[in-house]
Amino acid sequence: MQYYCNICKTDITKAEFLFSINKFDRPLCRKHQDIERNINSNTVKEEQSVYQEPEEEIIEEELDEEIIDEEVPKSRWKSLVKTVAVKSGKGIVKGIKKLADYSKKKLQIRKWKDSILRRMTMSQLKSLCFQNRVSTKKSDLKENRSGEMYWKERNCTKLELVSRLKNNAKLEDIIDFAKRNHINIRDILSDINRKKTEWKVKEITEQLNKIDGNPLLELEKTIREFIPQRYYDKELYYQDTLASFLQSKYDNTEIEVSRGSTRPDIVVEGVAIEVKGPTRNRDLETIANKCLLYPKYFPNGMICVLFNVQVNSRRYDDFVERMGEKHPDVKVIRIFNK
């Protein structure tokens, strides 16, 4: 049997394969075993440094401004020391808070993975392992009658397969596999959608707190808080319900305003809002053309609101990524039903 590294695909010995599976839950060559050890040991340190850097820079800048004059009065030095201490404390608190939020999200994603994987049969888990190049074998260290140690290979249990897939498979891939195999995960998907919406609204709120007013961000936050009461089979119904919701928040909400050769579904404070729903592949294709026309007539911005997205998750992620690269000023909002 031939053994190879899961990352660089180079051949490895059976001993290297067995050791790596036992230690890292996947086959790795010696080079990538060392890399994996370094990643595991340095991840927390790197995250803390990333989150604390901005506050440290601010403190250094303020220090430079304050200590130019060497003959600073003693009372002034006390005030300076107090200011630095307060800001240092704030920086540490913010860094810890961001790290805690990051850890909570990672933990929540692992819980979702676990909940979906536990609903699969052994054959489905093995198929998903094969799809993600995850070994379904495990080697245990045994001792024979003469006291010599040896490795004995066996099939993984269901819990062991679930654990390996949580570490090696992406949440989106697990969801796609479950849908293809008609596994009922509707309740889990509902919870995922609700949580992700909460995270995004919280992120926008933090951005708004840092800047002094941003109409486009405030409008995006308002739209993300909208939840349709039911699914509709026509775009017009989504457009009407969203327009009614926005009219209760913004007095200058208009519907289908014609400017030049454009006619967006809704206009709020000079921002063009394009509504799609149910959203299919062809709907995503038409949005790109409108992104080229609308900025000329609506300089305040453009928002695409997508309801009932019936597109493969990979296809949708590619669309969002492409929009971010080609039209970074256009907001794409996916709205989920209750």
Pairing of strands 271-276, 266-268: antiparallel
**Who contacts 278 (Cβ-Cβ below 8 Å, separation ≥6)?**
231, 232, 233, 235, 307, 308, 309, 310
**Who contacts 104 (Cβ-Cβ below 8 Å, separation ≥6)?**
none
**Who contacts 224 (Cβ-Cβ below 8 Å, separation ≥6)?**
197, 200, 201, 204, 333, 335
**Residue 305: C-alpha distances to residues 109, 226, 290 (Å):** 25, 11, 13
Domain map of the chain by residue range? Answer: 3-117, 228-335
**Res. 302 pLDDT band, cuts 50 70 90:** very high
DSSP 89-133: HHHHHHHHHHHHHHHHHHHHHHHHHHHHHTTS-HHHHHHHHHHTT
127 by Cβ neighbours in 10 Å (0-12 / 13-18 / 19+) ranks as middle
Max mean pLDDT among 14-18, 81-85, 138-142, 168-172 falls in 168-172
**Who contacts 96 (Cβ-Cβ below 8 Å, separation ≥6)?**
none
* Count of beta carbons in the 10 Å neighbourhood of residue 117: 24
Ramachandran sector of residue 213 (left: φ over 0; alpha: ψ -120 to 50; beta: rest): left
Max mean pLDDT among 2-16, 151-165, 201-215 falls in 151-165
**Res. 183 pLDDT band, cuts 50 70 90:** very high
pTM for the model: 0.57
Nearest partner of 226 among 98, 336, 136, judged by Cα: 336
Between 226 and 23, the higher pLDDT residue: 226
Averaged pLDDT for residues 213-225:
88
User: Please, are residues 204 and 221 in contact by the beta-carbon 8 Å criterion?
Assistant: yes
Is the C-alpha dihedral spanning 295, 286, 312, 237 positive or negative?
positive
Averaged pLDDT for residues 255-268:
84
pLDDT for residue 69 is more than 60 = no
pLDDT for residue 263 is more than 70 = yes
Domain formed by 228-335, architecture: 3-Layer(aba) Sandwich (3.40)
- Mean residue pLDDT of the chain comes to 81
Look at residue 145 in the predicted model and tell me its pLDDT: 82
Ramachandran sector of residue 147 (left: φ over 0; alpha: ψ -120 to 50; beta: rest): left
pLDDT for residue 83 is more than 70 = no
Average the pLDDT over each of 23-27, 40-44, 158-162, 267-271 and give the range with the smallest value: 40-44
